[in-house]
Amino acid sequence: QEGLRQRQEQQEQMVRAVYDLASEQLKRFDELKELKQHQEFQDLQEVMEKSSKEAQGQQEKLKEEHRHRAKVLNLKLREAEQQRQRQEELERLRKEEGQERLRRLYSIQEEVLQLNQQIDPNYRHKDLPRIDLSAYSNRGNQICGLVSGLIRTTSERGFPTQVDVANTERALQEMRGLISSMQQEIAAAVEEKRRRDEEEERQKQKELLKKEQMKAQTPAPAQQSGGKQRKEGLQVKAEESTMQWYQQLQDAAEQCVASFSGISNCKDNNEVKKIKTDLQKAATIPVSQISRIAGSQLREIFDKINNLLSGKSVQSGGRTVSVTQHPQGLDFVYYKLAEKFVNQGEEEVASHHDAAFPIAVVASGIWEIHPRVGDLFLAHLHKKCPYSVPFYPALKEGTSMEEYQRMLGYQVKDSKMEEQDHFLKRMSGMIRLYAAIIQLRWPYGNKQGTHPHGLNYGWRWLAQMLNMEPLADVTATLLFDFLEVCGNALMKQYQVQFWKMMLLIREDYFPRIEAITSSGQMGSLMRFKQFLEECLQQKEIPLPKGALQSSFWRS
């Protein structure tokens, strides 16, 4: 038992020794494993730090490249902006120079027209029946036409060049020389006539006493003779220069019609026929839509018409339309647009007088940008209403009565002439539209330029009307319509001269109208008389009803 107990203790000691040894080995193994893990973690951390440093370096490199590129791009943008500013400055200077040259052209044209008007009254000098100044008048009209043609060409092209200004200045110098030569010729003829008159005066001294006695004995015939002379002082026909202007406009309209014959005669070509219909609608529908609703709507209509005439595409009836669709498209649209403006005067303005102003302001603006529309408008207006020239067509041999009635402006259907009231209503509408156009300008246009057909034409029309024998019913109606619409503007422009004209109408011209007016035609005459009396009494021509106020354009 003792031996067994000892062996058992030895065995336990051995087991403890083995256990202790195994525990120590296990500790060493755990320490080795922990060391290995620590080394691996340190290696991984070093790798990560290294890659982080590399990524940071790469990022710094990219940032530097980005900063360099941004710097280069900013330099390029700055250079481009400077280049754009330089181009804008050059363009602005070019426009300013162009506008200055254009203003110079307009001032030259105005001076040429004023000088030409000096020729017209002396076309057949009343004191010198033998002197004929037709050559001066013809040359003056040619110079006016030349200057107008230059301005029209430069307006279509953009801005005039220095060569254009030089050409118009040469034309102005020639016109001045023409006036100077005419005045010298008249002065020489007057001096010659004065010498002859002095000689005749000496010869007639003996007969003078007998003539005075005969006049004293027969006062009544003398008065009749004086009245006859006074009446003979007025013209029956328009001045020749006016008729030349009228004929030039009619010729231009006929040439325009001939220029788009390919569109007009397109019965067999469906494609051209379709283009014709689209263009006609695009030109006429916007004019029909002009109203007094709002200024913004009027501006949209103006832009649509202007874009069409400028060759841009516009929407009409759900279709895209442009004058470039046909080589003759622009001429066709010019003609139809001008015709539509006149038709609106004949129909819309005749029925609603205040419609004249929105239609007129759009027509005036289009006329200023596209002068050819204005010339065609005048041609249409003169053909439908010859009194807007003013021109009283004469019955020529071989002309049928029906054709003559049409020449006078009457509508004839089935050999039946329209009623006088309807005729006067149409003429009134067209004159009112014309009177509104000459005083209105498109508010968003070039305010530095002159009106393409301004108040000076209205003054000329009024003066020529008063130089012609009145027509029953027609003259009183048209003078009243014209002065009611345009009188306020003429009063502000011509002031004292205008009131002299008004006194002349009341004292001299109104009795002439009264003398030829029958009892059934007194309505228009009395309306005109009342208007004259009120204006002269108040020394004021009231603003026309329906005139567009500044607040209208903010609507």
- State the CB neighbour count (10 A cutoff) for residue 86: 10
Residue 74 corresponds to which tokens in the numbers above? 């900013």
d(CA 122, CA 264): 44
Mean pLDDT computed over 331-352:
89
- State the CB neighbour count (10 A cutoff) for residue 351: 10
Determine which of 73-77, 175-179, 232-236, 371-375 has the lowest per-residue pLDDT on average. Answer: 232-236
Question: Residue 271: which domain range?
Answer: 266-452
Q: Contact at 8 Å (CB) between 212 and 151? A: no
Phi, psi of 416 (to 5 degrees): -115, 125
Do 390 and 270 share a structural domain? yes
Q: Which residue has the tokens 């481009």?
A: 80
d(CA 20, CA 229): 162
Higher pLDDT pick, 205 / 200: 200
Contacts of 402 (CB under 8 A, 6+ apart): 412, 415
Higher pLDDT pick, 485 / 266: 485
d(CA 429, CA 409): 13
CA quadruple 289, 295, 296, 301: dihedral sign: positive
**Is residue 39 very low, low, confident or very high in pLDDT (cuts 50, 70, 90)?**
very high
Residue 539 placed within a domain: no
Do 316 and 401 share a structural domain? yes
**Is residue 362 very low, low, confident or very high in pLDDT (cuts 50, 70, 90)?**
very high
State CA 443 to chain mean position distance.
10
**Is residue 256 very low, low, confident or very high in pLDDT (cuts 50, 70, 90)?**
confident
Residue 66 placed within a domain: no
At residue 474, does pLDDT exceed 70? Answer: yes
**Is residue 316 very low, low, confident or very high in pLDDT (cuts 50, 70, 90)?**
confident
**Is residue 231 very low, low, confident or very high in pLDDT (cuts 50, 70, 90)?**
very low
Do 333 and 412 share a structural domain? yes
Residue 168 placed within a domain: yes
Q: What is the DSSP letter of 235?
A: B
Do 278 and 176 share a structural domain? no
| Closest to 512 measured CA to CA, from 238, 235, 121, 237 | 235
Mark residue 232 as left, alpha or beta (left: phi above 0; alpha: psi -120 to 50; beta: remaining): alpha
Q: Contact at 8 Å (CB) between 122 and 187? A: no
Do 198 and 291 share a structural domain? no
Cis peptide before 452 (omega within 30 of 0): no
**Is residue 479 very low, low, confident or very high in pLDDT (cuts 50, 70, 90)?**
very high
* Structural domain total, the chain: 2
Do 338 and 426 share a structural domain? yes
At residue 42, does pLDDT exceed 60? Answer: yes
Do 201 and 276 share a structural domain? no
Amino acid in position 337: L
Amino acid in position 284: T
At residue 219, does pLDDT exceed 50? Answer: no
**Is residue 393 very low, low, confident or very high in pLDDT (cuts 50, 70, 90)?**
confident
**Is residue 129 very low, low, confident or very high in pLDDT (cuts 50, 70, 90)?**
low
Query: What is the predicted pLDDT for the residue at 205?
Result: 61
| Number of residues written out for the chain | 555
d(CA 316, CA 289): 13
Do 276 and 195 share a structural domain? no
Do 385 and 273 share a structural domain? yes
Q: What is the pLDDT of residues 131-179, one digit of tens each?
A: 667 777 778 878 887 887 787 777 777 778 888 888 888 888 888 888 8
Q: What is the pLDDT of residues 407-427, one digit of tens each?
A: 888 888 877 888 888 889 999
Residue 93 placed within a domain: no
Query: What is the predicted pLDDT for the residue at 122?
Result: 46
Do 306 and 189 share a structural domain? no
Q: Report CA Rg, the chain.
A: 45
Mean pLDDT computed over 330-349:
89
d(CA 133, CA 124): 6
The secondary structure element, H or E, covering residue 314 is: strand 314-316
Higher pLDDT pick, 262 / 379: 379
Last residue of a domain, one of 180, 205, 230: 205
Q: What is the DSSP letter of 120?
A: G
Residue 542 placed within a domain: no
d(CA 221, CA 232): 16
**Is residue 13 very low, low, confident or very high in pLDDT (cuts 50, 70, 90)?**
very high
- State the CB neighbour count (10 A cutoff) for residue 420: 14
Mean pLDDT computed over 81-110:
86
Per-residue HEC secondary structure of 139-153 comes to: HHHHHHHHHHHHHHH
Do 418 and 279 share a structural domain? yes
d(CA 490, CA 39): 108
Last residue of a domain, one of 190, 205, 220: 205
Residue 309 placed within a domain: yes
**Is residue 55 very low, low, confident or very high in pLDDT (cuts 50, 70, 90)?**
very high
Residue 223 placed within a domain: no
Determine which of 5-19, 253-267, 428-442, 485-499 has the lowest per-residue pLDDT on average. Answer: 253-267
C-alpha count within 13 angstroms, C-beta hemisphere, residue 128: 19
Query: What is the predicted pLDDT for the residue at 221?
Result: 30
Query: What is the predicted pLDDT for the residue at 131?
Result: 65
At residue 208, does pLDDT exceed 80? Answer: no
Residue 194 placed within a domain: yes
Angstrom CA distances, 543 to 340, 465, 490, 519, stand at 27, 23, 11, 31
Give SS3 for 210: helix
Residues of the chain with pLDDT > 90, as a percent, come to 25
**Is residue 260 very low, low, confident or very high in pLDDT (cuts 50, 70, 90)?**
confident
DSSP 260-310: THHHHT-TT-HHHHHHHHHHHHHHHHHHHT--SS-HHHHHHHHHHHHHHHT
Query: What is the predicted pLDDT for the residue at 485?
Result: 92
Q: Which of 4-8, 347-351, 492-496 has the highest mean pLDDT?
A: 4-8
The secondary structure element, H or E, covering residue 320 is: strand 319-321
Q: What angle do CA 121, 126, 127 make, to 5 degrees?
A: 125
Residue 128 corresponds to which tokens in the numbers above? 């010198």
Do 270 and 199 share a structural domain? no
Last residue of a domain, one of 434, 452, 470: 452
Q: Contact at 8 Å (CB) between 175 and 112? A: yes
**Is residue 236 very low, low, confident or very high in pLDDT (cuts 50, 70, 90)?**
low
CATH code of the domain in which 301 resides: 1.25.40.510
